[in-house]
Protein backbone atom coordinates (compact mmCIF):
# COMPACT_ATOMS: atom_id res chain seq x y z
CA UNK A 1 0.00 0.00 0.00
CA UNK A 2 2.96 2.33 0.59
CA UNK A 3 1.99 5.96 1.05
CA UNK A 4 -1.33 6.40 2.87
CA UNK A 5 -1.33 10.21 2.94
CA UNK A 6 -4.54 11.55 1.42
CA UNK A 7 -6.27 8.18 1.78
CA UNK A 8 -8.75 6.86 4.31
CA UNK A 9 -6.97 5.29 7.27
CA UNK A 10 -7.37 1.48 7.21
CA UNK A 11 -10.11 0.41 9.60
CA UNK A 12 -9.64 -2.26 12.22
CA UNK A 13 -11.28 -3.77 15.27
CA UNK A 14 -8.94 -5.40 17.75
CA UNK A 15 -8.20 -6.09 21.39
CA UNK A 16 -6.55 -3.29 23.35
CA UNK A 17 -5.66 -2.22 26.86
CA UNK A 18 -7.29 1.01 28.04
CA UNK A 19 -6.12 3.18 30.95
CA UNK A 20 -3.34 0.70 31.65
CA UNK A 21 -5.69 -1.88 33.18
CA UNK A 22 -8.83 -2.64 31.16
CA UNK A 23 -8.70 -5.15 28.29
CA UNK A 24 -11.37 -4.69 25.60
CA UNK A 25 -11.92 -6.88 22.55
CA UNK A 26 -13.41 -4.41 20.09
CA UNK A 27 -11.26 -1.29 20.04
CA UNK A 28 -11.64 0.76 16.85
CA UNK A 29 -10.60 4.18 15.59
CA UNK A 30 -14.16 4.71 14.35
CA UNK A 31 -15.07 6.09 17.79
CA UNK A 32 -13.04 9.20 16.96
CA UNK A 33 -14.49 9.87 13.49
CA UNK A 34 -15.97 13.33 13.14
CA UNK A 35 -14.80 14.30 16.59
CA UNK A 36 -11.05 13.93 17.16
CA UNK A 37 -7.72 13.86 15.39
CA UNK A 38 -5.74 10.67 15.99
CA UNK A 39 -2.03 10.02 16.28
CA UNK A 40 -1.64 6.29 15.74
CA UNK A 41 1.87 5.02 16.32
CA UNK A 42 3.32 1.54 15.94
CA UNK A 43 6.25 0.16 17.89
CA UNK A 44 8.14 -3.14 17.48
CA UNK A 45 7.87 -5.06 20.77
CA UNK A 46 6.82 -5.02 24.40
CA UNK A 47 9.54 -5.47 27.04
CA UNK A 48 12.28 -3.94 24.89
CA UNK A 49 14.52 -0.87 25.12
CA UNK A 50 13.74 2.01 22.75
CA UNK A 51 10.00 1.30 22.83
CA UNK A 52 9.33 2.29 26.48
CA UNK A 53 11.14 5.61 25.95
CA UNK A 54 8.70 6.42 23.15
CA UNK A 55 5.57 5.30 25.00
CA UNK A 56 6.52 7.34 28.07
CA UNK A 57 7.41 10.34 25.87
CA UNK A 58 3.92 10.30 24.36
CA UNK A 59 2.39 9.98 27.83
CA UNK A 60 4.37 13.00 29.04
CA UNK A 61 2.88 15.07 26.21
CA UNK A 62 -0.58 13.47 26.31
CA UNK A 63 -2.26 16.52 27.84
CA UNK A 64 -0.90 18.64 24.98
CA UNK A 65 -2.36 16.28 22.38
CA UNK A 66 -5.68 16.18 24.23
CA UNK A 67 -5.78 19.98 24.44
CA UNK A 68 -5.71 19.94 20.63
CA UNK A 69 -8.60 17.43 20.55
CA UNK A 70 -6.27 14.62 19.47
CA UNK A 71 -6.29 11.01 20.70
CA UNK A 72 -3.03 9.08 20.98
CA UNK A 73 -3.13 5.35 20.24
CA UNK A 74 -0.22 2.87 20.34
CA UNK A 75 -0.05 -0.48 18.56
CA UNK A 76 2.31 -3.43 18.30
CA UNK A 77 2.05 -7.07 17.23
CA UNK A 78 2.14 -8.32 20.83
CA UNK A 79 -0.95 -9.77 22.53
CA UNK A 80 -3.23 -7.80 24.81
CA UNK A 81 -2.00 -9.99 27.70
CA UNK A 82 1.59 -9.00 26.93
CA UNK A 83 0.56 -5.33 26.82
CA UNK A 84 -1.25 -5.68 30.14
CA UNK A 85 1.76 -7.32 31.79
CA UNK A 86 4.13 -4.60 30.57
CA UNK A 87 1.70 -1.93 31.75
CA UNK A 88 1.93 -3.32 35.30
CA UNK A 89 5.75 -3.07 35.30
CA UNK A 90 7.19 0.13 36.84
CA UNK A 91 9.07 2.56 34.64
CA UNK A 92 12.16 2.08 36.83
CA UNK A 93 12.24 -1.57 35.73
CA UNK A 94 11.77 -0.84 32.03
CA UNK A 95 7.99 -1.09 32.14
CA UNK A 96 5.27 1.27 30.92
CA UNK A 97 3.18 1.60 34.07
CA UNK A 98 1.42 4.95 33.97
CA UNK A 99 0.52 4.85 30.28
CA UNK A 100 -3.16 5.75 30.00
CA UNK A 101 -3.81 5.97 26.24
CA UNK A 102 -4.95 2.83 24.39
CA UNK A 103 -2.39 0.16 23.48
CA UNK A 104 -3.71 -2.01 20.66
CA UNK A 105 -2.85 -5.69 20.17
CA UNK A 106 -2.18 -6.48 16.51
CA UNK A 107 -1.69 -10.17 17.25
CA UNK A 108 -2.59 -11.37 13.76
CA UNK A 109 -0.43 -8.59 12.23
CA UNK A 110 -3.16 -7.40 9.88
CA UNK A 111 -3.18 -3.82 11.20
CA UNK A 112 0.57 -3.45 10.69
CA UNK A 113 0.24 -5.04 7.26
CA UNK A 114 -2.60 -2.75 6.18
CA UNK A 115 -0.68 0.32 7.33
CA UNK A 116 2.36 -1.08 5.49
CA UNK A 117 4.66 -1.00 8.51
CA UNK A 118 5.11 -4.76 8.97
CA UNK A 119 8.80 -5.68 8.94
CA UNK A 120 9.86 -8.97 7.37
CA UNK A 121 8.22 -10.90 4.55
CA UNK A 122 6.06 -13.98 4.44
CA UNK A 123 5.66 -16.28 1.46
CA UNK A 124 4.74 -19.81 0.42
CA UNK A 125 7.66 -22.08 -0.49
CA UNK A 126 7.80 -24.73 -3.19
CA UNK A 127 6.20 -27.24 -0.81
CA UNK A 128 3.25 -24.98 -0.13
CA UNK A 129 4.49 -24.19 3.38
CA UNK A 130 4.12 -20.68 4.76
CA UNK A 131 7.53 -19.18 5.54
CA UNK A 132 8.76 -15.88 6.92
CA UNK A 133 12.02 -14.00 6.54
CA UNK A 134 12.88 -11.75 9.44
CA UNK A 135 10.69 -10.96 12.42
CA UNK A 136 7.12 -10.01 11.54
CA UNK A 137 6.94 -7.00 13.85
CA UNK A 138 6.03 -3.38 13.25
CA UNK A 139 8.42 -0.67 12.19
CA UNK A 140 8.13 2.61 14.09
CA UNK A 141 5.30 3.99 12.00
CA UNK A 142 3.32 7.10 12.93
CA UNK A 143 0.13 8.33 11.27
CA UNK A 144 -1.75 11.60 11.83
CA UNK A 145 -5.40 11.05 10.95
CA UNK A 146 -7.84 13.94 10.64
CA UNK A 147 -11.41 14.05 11.95
CA UNK A 148 -12.72 12.71 8.64
CA UNK A 149 -10.50 9.63 8.96
CA UNK A 150 -8.02 10.72 6.28
CA UNK A 151 -4.28 10.23 6.80
CA UNK A 152 -2.59 13.64 6.64
CA UNK A 153 0.94 12.67 7.69
CA UNK A 154 2.97 9.50 8.01
CA UNK A 155 6.46 8.73 9.23
CA UNK A 156 8.19 5.34 9.33
CA UNK A 157 11.47 4.77 11.18
CA UNK A 158 13.60 1.65 11.22
CA UNK A 159 13.63 -0.35 14.45
CA UNK A 160 16.58 1.33 16.27
CA UNK A 161 15.45 4.92 15.53
CA UNK A 162 13.20 6.54 18.12
CA UNK A 163 10.78 9.30 17.16
CA UNK A 164 10.47 12.93 18.24
CA UNK A 165 7.15 13.50 20.01
CA UNK A 166 7.51 17.28 19.73
CA UNK A 167 7.63 16.86 15.95
CA UNK A 168 4.34 14.96 16.07
CA UNK A 169 2.84 17.89 17.99
CA UNK A 170 4.27 20.36 15.49
CA UNK A 171 2.71 18.51 12.57
CA UNK A 172 -0.63 18.37 14.40
CA UNK A 173 -0.42 22.14 14.96
CA UNK A 174 0.37 22.63 11.29
CA UNK A 175 -2.68 20.61 10.23
CA UNK A 176 -4.95 22.55 12.58
CA UNK A 177 -3.47 25.87 11.38
CA UNK A 178 -4.05 24.93 7.76
CA UNK A 179 -7.63 23.86 8.42
CA UNK A 180 -8.44 27.02 10.37
CA UNK A 181 -6.60 29.58 8.22
CA UNK A 182 -6.39 28.02 4.77
CA UNK A 183 -2.69 28.87 4.63
CA UNK A 184 0.23 26.52 4.07
CA UNK A 185 2.96 25.92 6.65
CA UNK A 186 6.48 26.61 5.32
CA UNK A 187 9.74 24.94 6.34
CA UNK A 188 10.41 24.89 10.08
CA UNK A 189 6.99 26.34 10.83
CA UNK A 190 5.94 26.30 14.48
CA UNK A 191 2.75 27.32 16.22
CA UNK A 192 2.60 31.10 16.54
CA UNK A 193 4.41 31.76 13.28
CA UNK A 194 2.77 33.07 10.14
CA UNK A 195 1.75 30.83 7.28
CA UNK A 196 1.82 31.59 3.60
CA UNK A 197 -0.74 31.83 0.86
CA UNK A 198 -0.17 29.25 -1.86
CA UNK A 199 0.28 31.85 -4.61
CA UNK A 200 3.30 33.42 -6.31
CA UNK A 201 2.55 36.65 -4.47
CA UNK A 202 2.13 34.81 -1.19
CA UNK A 203 5.48 33.03 -1.37
CA UNK A 204 7.24 36.20 -2.51
CA UNK A 205 5.77 38.13 0.42
CA UNK A 206 6.69 35.40 2.90
CA UNK A 207 10.28 35.08 1.66
CA UNK A 208 10.78 38.82 1.75
CA UNK A 209 9.86 38.87 5.44
CA UNK A 210 11.75 35.75 6.57
What DSSP designation does 150 have? Answer: B
Please tell me the distance from the alpha carbon of residue 108 to that of residue 106, in angstroms, as a whole number. Answer: 6
Catalytic residue status for 70: no
Q: How far apart are CA 120 and CA 108, in angstroms?
A: 14
Instruction: Determine contact, residues 77/136, Cβ cutoff 8 Å.
Output: yes
Return d(Cα 31, Cα 164) in angstroms, integer: 26
At a CB cut-off of 8 Å and minimum separation 6, what does 182 contact?
none
- Are the CB atoms for 183 and 197 separated by under 8 Å? yes
Measured between alpha carbons, how far is 27 from 6 in angstroms, rounded to an integer? 24
Of 48, 11, 23, 14, the closest CA to residue 143 belongs to 11
- Exactly one of 51, 70, 75, 185 is catalytic; name it: 51
Which SS3 state, helix, strand or coil, does residue 154 take? strand
Catalytic residues: 51
Amino acid sequence: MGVLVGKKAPEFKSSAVLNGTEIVSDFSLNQYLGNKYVVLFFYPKDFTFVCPTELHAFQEKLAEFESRNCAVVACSTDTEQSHWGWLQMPKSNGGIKGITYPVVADTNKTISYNYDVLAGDFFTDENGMLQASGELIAYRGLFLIDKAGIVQHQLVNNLPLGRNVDEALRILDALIFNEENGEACPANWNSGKTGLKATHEGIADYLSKN
